Chains A and B, each alone.
Chain A
Amino acid sequence: MPTVAVVGGSVAGVRVAQALRSEGHDGRIVLVDREPHLPYDRPPLSKQFLAGGRDLAGVTLLTEEMAGRLGIELRLGSAAERLDPRGRTLRLADGTTLDWDAVVLATGADARAVPWPVSSGVHVVRCLDDARALRAELVPGAPLVVVGGGFIGAEVAATARSAGCAVTVVDPLPAPIGRVVGPEVGALFTELHHRHGVATRFGTGVAGIEGGSGRLRVLLDDGSSLGAAAVVVGIGAVPNDAWLASSGLRIEDGVVTDEHCRAVDDAGAQAAGVYAVGDGARSYRRGLGRHVRAEHWTNASEMAAVAAHNIVAPEDLRVHDPVEYVWSDQYDWKIQIAGRPVEADRHELVGSIAGDAARGAAVYAGADGRLCGAVTVNWPKAMFLCRRMLGDGTMADETLGRLRALDDARR
């Protein structure tokens, strides 16, 4: 009976295990995770879970009952320590060794380490225990400094503000979300903070952090400083691939795979039976002609379905070459982003991405005039159309026309 070992119990790993059954795999499935918790979903950790509106059950991806019904063996609280692709074994921290016929590496990414070591009061938000620890600090009136104005930082700022904290977000870039959506649209995201009473210190880096929980001081590189009861650092994530250093797999800021989610060894050959999915995988994208590592929920979910299919039906390989898609909920904005807006030559707005009643889209055109990205605020229907048109290679002007017609129909 063939065994598939899935290493990592976040959305990528869980979706692989579930999809293996949908695809007809009738052998063993063993799902390994270093954390003791039942597999859980991460997007709510900076939003509903952090706000206290959900408990562990509210973010659980796979209950014991669901796992039992699908015949998924859970090996929780035990990190994977060593992979031997030739011997087809996986050694765990509890001393046991699993034999596998196929293995899926889904160990994701960890929060980038805080470069300003302080004894207490400085948080990251990556796993459940991180979010629980931070939740205890979100006291009305408490001064909170968020270092990093990207998606995690902005979501944490919005949640903390709703909890009544006095929040300041710091980032060395003048418009942090501009990294993804370009500087002009990025500036609208800065206004969003201000409209909700969150201060920003953008264009200013952090030089250091002093003190401890309840009496921290964040030193900025312009010589000023901010007092804080707690500090949240959201400065990116790094793939959790150090445990694979001796595996002989090609690791280049993530596990390198081909377009079918199959891992490649350090000589460039396919590593038989080894697949990688999710935030820790750097997969070849046919459409872009290069390898990409993406830290997106939808990307993880889509890779999982592709890998599971390719394990069960290797004679009918599926390709992972998606239209990139992310979302972020900040304050009263439902933000959705597709494609690669930052690579655009120009963009145009439809509707409004400003003020208290925002509902609009930014449509981005590449050098060839084709749609290359889209950002929508509180307008899911427009985003769905843009995702479809991105996949079809539609001209940006045609996209603009269709969104304007959709916008007119609503008025």
Chain B
Amino acid sequence: MHKLHADHRACQGYGNCVTGAPDVYDLDDEGVVVLLKEEIDETERSRVEEAARSCPVHALTLGG
């Protein structure tokens, strides 16, 4: 399992992560990222990591 982390203060609400993996990321009403799950299975790693890398302010990191 990989641990997903969000820097809520860095988040600017660009929303690219939600577009990439809507089952893992969401935005709250203020436009700040919400993690729908934080433990990411190896089989989902590539897709969740790609969505994390689509963040323009590098607010998302997926642990090894």
* Chain A contacts to B: CB under 8 angstroms: 15, 18-19, 22-23, 41, 43, 297-298, 301-302, 305, 323, 325, 327, 334, 336, 379-381, 383-384, 387-388, 406, 409-410
Whether B27 lies near A384 (C-beta < 8 A) is yes
Identify which of B28, B30, B54, B56 contacts A43 (C-beta below 8 A). Answer: B56
| B22 contacts across to A, CB distance below 8 A | 388
Q: What number of residue pairs across chains A and B have CB atoms under 8 A from each other?
A: 60
| A388 contacts across to B, CB distance below 8 A | 19, 22
| A336 contacts across to B, CB distance below 8 A | 14-15
Q: Would you call B50 an interface residue if the criterion is a C-beta within 8 Å of the partner chain's C-beta atoms?
A: yes
Whether B56 lies near A381 (C-beta < 8 A) is no
Expressed in whole angstroms, the Cα–Cα distance for A23 and B49 within the complex equals: 10
15 A–B pairs (Cβ distance < 8 Å), ordered by A: A22-B45, A22-B46, A23-B46, A298-B56, A301-B53, A301-B54, A305-B50, A305-B54, A325-B19, A334-B13, A380-B14, A381-B13, A383-B13, A384-B13, A406-B29
A410 touching B54 in the complex, CB below 8 Å, given contacts A298-B16, A383-B15? no
| B19 contacts across to A, CB distance below 8 A | 323, 325, 384, 387-388
Identify which of A18, A23, A302, A380 contacts B13 (C-beta below 8 A). Answer: A380
- The distance from the CB of B3 to the nearest CB of chain A, in whole angstroms, is 17
| B13 contacts across to A, CB distance below 8 A | 334, 380-381, 383-384
Expressed in whole angstroms, the Cα–Cα distance for A336 and B46 within the complex equals: 27
For B48, the closest partner residue in chain A by CB is: A22
- The distance from the CB of A280 to the nearest CB of chain B, in whole angstroms, is 20
Identify which of B12, B18, B28 contacts A334 (C-beta below 8 A). Answer: B12
Whether A22 lies near B50 (C-beta < 8 A) is yes
| B29 contacts across to A, CB distance below 8 A | 381, 406, 409-410
| B14 contacts across to A, CB distance below 8 A | 298, 327, 336, 380
| A298 contacts across to B, CB distance below 8 A | 14, 16, 54, 56
| A302 contacts across to B, CB distance below 8 A | 54
B15, B19, B22: which has the most chain A beta carbons within 10 Å?
Answer: B15
Interface code B1-39, partner A: CB below 8 Å = 1, 0 otherwise? 000000000001111101100100001111100000000
